[in-house]
Amino acid sequence: MIKKNSLSFRIIKRVLTFTTLMFLLVLSLFYYFARNSIEESARENAIHIADNAVAKIEQELQPMEKIPEVVAGLMEIDPPHEDSLFLLVETILEKNQNVSGAAIAFEPNFFPDKGLYYSPYAYRDGDRIHSFSLGDENYEYFYMDWYLIPKMLDTAYWTEPYYDEGGGEMLMSTYSVPFYMRRDGERVFAGIATVDVSLDWLTETVAEIEIFETGYAFMLSRNGVAVTYPRREYIMNESLFSMAAERDSELLREIGQDMIAGNSQFREHGMNDTGRFWIYYTPLPSSGWSIGVVYPDAEMFATLRSITTLMIILVLGGLIVLTILTVQIVNRISAPLSQFSNSARLVAEGNFDVKLPKIRKTLELRELHDAFSHMQEELAEYVVNLKETTAAKEKIESELRIAREIQLAMIPHSFPPYPDLPQVDLYAVLRSAREVGGDLYDFFVVDQDKFVFAIGDVSGKGVPASLFMAVTRTLLRTIADKEQSPSKIMAALNKSLSFNNESNMFVTFFLGVMNLKTGQLSYVNAGHNPPVLISKTKETKMFEPAKTIPLGLYEEFEYPEHSMTLEPGDKLFSYTDGVTEAENVRDDLFDEDRMLKVLEENKDKSPKDLINVMMHAIEAHVQDHPQSDDITMMTVSFKGLDHGNTQNKADE
Amino acid sequence: MRKIILFACTVLSAGLLTTRASEPLVFSPHWMPQAQFAGFYVAQDQGFYKEAGVDVEIIHPSPTVSSVDFLERGTADVITQFLMTALTASNEGLDLVNIGQLSQHSAILFASKKSSGIETIEDFEGKKVGVWRGGFREVPMAMLMDQGVDVNWVSVLWSVNLFLEDGVDLMTMMWYNEYNQLYLSGLDRDEVNTFFVADYGFDVPEDGIYTLASTRDEREKELRAFVEASIRGWDYASENQDYTVSLIVDMMRQANIPANKAHQRWMLKRILDLQAPGEKEVRKTELHPDDYQMAVEILKEREIIERILPYEEFFQPVCSFNE
């Protein structure tokens, strides 16, 4: 089953929507234009048919019209004797086979000796031609349409069609022409000259018109009566208006009115007994009758409809095939994609040997395959490397951890260090930036009353610095065993460190020796940050900055020794540049001013508390910024010989 | 009320008509078959005459022989006729009597095309007015005389073509016939102005059933049965108009008379309208004395008749109107 969000579904949906819309558009346009063109050709055809029929009928009717017109002219210009008019009408019939009857009807009592009615009339009886004078009390022709209407209108007139009196079921019409004669020098209306014309040939002409299967032609009289009509029972019985009334069709009535008004038009017929129809109508110029040609819509557009149906079926079939093909193509493309996604999942789980789908044809997929395969190989190789590197790194880290422990073990870290020496209190801290660092501090007691302490900072960081630091510390202990004065210790230490110092490493170093009995402090500063003296009575103050170079640079350098006397309660705060140069994210240094301020504000605190406060201050300044340098602080507090114990208690 | 009258007739005839007349009763309407006479055809077709015990034969007049001629010659025993024509015939010596009046109103009207601009009777002055040749012209002519309008009368037969072709400005027409022919020739009703004579005090009833006074006495039972069954036929026609119209159109086509349902349907409805009493206090098949008086006075004034037959002599109904 195709899932709703799948590629195939979306492609098919779009492709199908688009193609269906295209087909609909094309079909609609085709149908519209084809329909218009069929309608146009039907219109032309209808006009052609109707005009042909009209021409054919007129060709017959017009010569008929000439006959009474000539008679009328004759009667006015040079009328024959009234008795010879019988011969005239008989001759008319003899010479004109299409004429069924002819009359020259006079006004009442026109010829006094002929009585009220005088109308020489000839008619056919089979092959023979008879004549008599028309009119008696039962046939008062003066009131008949064929006489009265042309008389009243003073114009020629084709009567409404009628069935002939002879009962021959012959449909007739009479063409009547009024004529005038001279009476006592005056031109007076004298009567009506007529010919009777059988309309059978006319109805045949119209009935012969065939339009498709159910189309037809018909003719209406001026009153809208069906003169010819495919339904025989309608002829002379129904008018288009009676049909409209029975069907309650306004449109049909309107068409009838337009037809008898003598208009020509091709239009939708609207209704008929069997569906939609089209009609073209045009009048007969002579009689004013109208011919209508009716086209059944269903048949007019039958071919178009079947073609359209066929096209729709083909299009539907095409759309189905298109759908199937699209599904196949998209599936062929997307199946490897889902296999690739499976492979990717397996690769992610670490299975780099997973088999990739085989791609033969699609270029893009082949590229994907190659890239995937390359990624697989690279990943595998990378992971192997990573494993090795990680192992190596872990080894180093483990060694460094051990090295750190060793290094930390090298400096004293149990406080208070000398519980049996009340004269001195001390606290120190060393926080390396890395596993191992180059800072160091140390202190020890020599000869029971000499307290040696030192703090240093090796150039560089990491393992080399830590090794140099270890060497420095070891040398310090060794040398301090033999030498008493700080300057000598420093000189010896410098000499040892400088010797074979290929790597040009050095260490800033501060070394102090305190006489625990007198408070006498001798010290040497080899390029180290000057310690701070915190005195109870005096202002917290930094030592003079060192004017000497660090140890390990120059073998023969002599380091001058300074001395001072500490009052009981004085504290000496020494540190490395990791304190003053501790940076926060904005590259602001912690700096000496901040440090001195903290020291001043906490001058009464014990060495441990003081260092903790300082550490908090540094942490507050640095915040989350990673530590870049080792931080080492050491505070030595001299308590004096006598005050040792009491001072300790007060501090707590 | 109608049912009660019929009932009275039925009881009377059923009891008296025990012996069958040896000869059929020949009936002629006064024109060719059309819905104007629907009740008679329906009664015949539905066997109402037979049920009433009367054997009726229907014949039709021709353009040369009228129903009055039939009556005079003895070709028909009972006929329908226009009141005016019957009065004229009576005046000329034919001893005919009205045995039942069908129409109670005049169907005559003057029609003009709206396009002619004739909107009132005054506009008629000097206009060409088509009027029937036969006996139907008296009432419209009397009406225009009464209105003091002088027109140019043009005699016509039954065709409206002269009017359609504008050969005349106005034409007399029957509401149920020619007036509708205008419509069925494509002239819309709102294109035609009508002037009904009834609206100008000339609501003269028209179609009635006539027989010779002698026949009325000799064959009263049969005539009563005939009139009663004919009324039943009219009632049936009124209630079954589709059937009636089909029956009429079939008859007309058999007689080779141009016919269509639309026109016959119109005619049937209008004839039924004309038979209804309307505002007149008249009972079914009754000729109201006032209507009779109006008719004879018109004829006398126009010097068509000389003597006026007493109402009771002219109108001798065969059915009682006792309710």
**Tens digits of per-residue pLDDT, B105-150?**
999 999 999 999 999 999 999 999 999 987 788 899 999 999 999 9
| Interface probe with A: pick from B127, B168, B260, most Cβ of A within 10 Å | B260
Rounded to an integer, what distance in angstroms lies between the CA atom of residue B233 and that of residue B37?
A: 10
**CB atoms A157 and B164 under 8 Å:** no
Judgement on whether residues B13 and B72 belong to the same structural domain of the protein = yes
Question: What stretch of H or E contains A176?
Answer: strand A171-183
From A287's Cα to the closest Cα of chain B, the distance in A is 13
> A644 pLDDT band (50/70/90 cuts)?
very low
B265 vs A contacts (CB less than 8 Å)? 246
How is residue B147 annotated by DSSP?
A: T
Tell me, what DSSP letter sits at residue A137? T
Confirm if A221 and B159 have CB atoms less than 8 A apart.
no
| More reliable by pLDDT, B266 or A410 | B266
What type of residue is B156?
V
Please judge whether A222 and B164 are an interchain contact, meaning their C-beta atoms are less than 8 angstroms apart. yes
The CATH number of residue B189's host domain is: 3.40.190.10
Q: Are residue B63 and residue B195 in the same domain, yes or no?
A: no
State the average pLDDT over residues A438-458.
87
Residue B279 lies inside a defined structural domain of this protein? yes
Whether the pLDDT of residue A333 is over 90: the answer is no
Q: Looking at domain A79-198, which of 3.10.310.70, 3.40.228.10, 3.90.79.10, 3.30.450.20 is its CATH number?
A: 3.30.450.20
Q: What are the chain A neighbours of B184 within 8 Å (beta carbons)?
A: 223-224, 239, 241-242, 245
Sort out which chain A residues have CB atoms less than 8 A from B164's CB and list them: 222-223
Question: For chains A and B, what is the number of CB pairs under 8 angstroms?
Answer: 82
Fold annotation for A411-651: Phosphatase 2c; domain 1 (3.60.40)
CA distance A89 to A98: 14
Q: CA–CA distance from B305 to each of B96, B133, B295, B301 (Å)?
A: 15, 18, 11, 8
Q: A312-321, A327-336, A513-522 — which is least confidently predicted?
A: A327-336
The amino acid at A155: T
Q: Parallel, antiparallel, or unpaired for β B170-174 and B108-113?
A: antiparallel
Q: Helix, strand or coil for residue A624? A: coil
pLDDT grade, residue A540 (50/70/90)?
Answer: confident
pLDDT value at residue A651: 42
Choose, out of B153, B185, B191, the residue to mutate when testing the contact with A (most A CBs < 10 Å).
Answer: B185
Nearest-angstrom CA–CA distance, B235 and A280: 45
- A68-103 pLDDT, tens digit each: 999 999 999 999 999 999 999 999 999 998 899 999
What distance in Å separates residue A71's CA from the closest CA in chain B?
Answer: 23
- pLDDT class of B15 with cuts at 50, 70, 90: very low
Average pLDDT rounded to a whole number, residues A608-624? 88
- For residues A43 and A280, the answer to whether their CB atoms sit within 8 Å is yes
Picking from A615, A617, A519, the residue whose alpha carbon sits closest to that of residue A571 is: A519
Task: Measure Cα distances from B191 to A114, B155, B188 in Å.
Answer: 44, 24, 5
Q: A195 versus A13: which is more confidently predicted? A: A195
User: What are the CB-based long-range contacts (under 8 Å, 24+) for A180-186?
Assistant: A180/A75, A180/A76, A181/A75, A181/A76, A181/A79, A182/A76
pLDDT surpassing 70 at residue A480: yes
Same domain, B99 and B212: yes
The residue among B165, B190, B250 with the most chain A CBs within 10 A of its CB, best to mutate, is B165
CA distance B174 to chain A (A): 18
| B319 in a structural domain | no
Taking CB atoms and an 8 Å limit, are B162 and A163 in contact across chains? Answer: no
Same domain membership, residue B133 and residue B69: no
Contact: B262, A243; criterion CB under 8 Å: yes
- In this complex, the residue of A143, A159, A237 whose CB is nearest that of residue B260 is A237
Task: Tell which of B129, B159, B252 to mutate to test the A interface (max A CBs under 10 Å).
Answer: B159
- Per residue in A412-443, pLDDT tens? 878 888 878 888 888 998 888 877 778 889 88
Give the pLDDT score at A166: 56
Chain B closest-CA separation from residue A224 CA (Å): 6
| In contact, B105 and B278? CB cutoff 8 Å | yes
Burial class (CB in 10 A: 0-12, 13-18, 19+), A116: middle
Q: Which of B156, B184, B261 comes nearest A148 by C-beta?
A: B156
- Domain ranges across chain A: 7-59+202-300, 79-198, 315-380, 411-651
Beta-carbon separation of A152 and B63 below 8 A: no
Please state, in angstroms and rounded to a whole number, the distance separating the CA atoms of residues A240 and A249. 10
Mean pLDDT calculated for residue range A138-156 = 92
- Percent with pLDDT over 70 in chain B: 92
CATH of A7-59+202-300, one of 3.40.640.10, 3.40.1280.10, 3.30.450.20, 3.40.50.10490: 3.30.450.20
Distances (CA, A) of A347 to A358, A359, B59, B143: 17, 19, 114, 118
For residues A87 and A285, what is the distance between their CA atoms, to the nearest angstrom?
32
How far, in Å, CA of A327 to CA of A322, rounded?
Answer: 8
Number of domain units in chain B: 2
Check pLDDT > 60 for residue A306.
yes
Residues A226 and A240: beta-carbon distance below 8 Å: yes
Q: What is the pLDDT of residue A206?
A: 86
Closest CA in chain B for residue A225 = B185
CA distance A232 to chain B (A): 12
Report the alpha-carbon distance of residue B134 to residue A221 in Å, rounded. Answer: 27
Residue type, position B52, single letter:
A
Cβ A243–B165 below 8 Å, yes or no? no
- Residues B187, B245: one domain? no
| Residue of higher predicted confidence among A71 and A213 | A71
B157/A144 touch (CB, cutoff 8 Å), yes or no? yes
* Alpha-helical runs (H) found in A445-550: 462-482, 486-498
> Is there a single domain that holds both residue B191 and residue B253?
no
**Entry pTM:** 0.68
Question: In the predicted model, what is the mean pLDDT of residues A601-615?
Answer: 87
Give the gap in angstroms from C-alpha B47 to the nearest C-alpha of chain A: 28
Q: What is the CA radius of gyration of chain A?
A: 68
Q: What is the mean pLDDT of residues B45-67?
A: 92
Mean pLDDT check: name the lowest of A539-543, A562-566, B148-152.
A539-543
Name the domain boundary from B172, B200, B228.
Answer: B200
* Contact state of B186 with A144 under an 8 Å Cβ cutoff: no
Interface of B with A (CB under 8 A): 63-64, 128, 133, 154-157, 159, 161-162, 164-168, 183-186, 188, 253, 256, 258-263, 265
Cα B320 to Cα A397: distance, rounded to the nearest angstrom = 143
| Confidence band of A199 (pLDDT split at 50, 70, 90) | confident
Give B238-289 pLDDT, tens digit per residue: 999 999 999 999 999 888 888 999 999 999 999 999 999 988 888 889 999 9
Is 60 exceeded by the pLDDT of residue B19? no
Tokens of A226: 């069906």
Q: Are residues B97 and B9 in the same domain?
A: yes
Percent of chain A with pLDDT over 90: 29
Instruction: Show the domain range for B188.
Output: 108-200
Residue B323 forms part of a structural domain: no
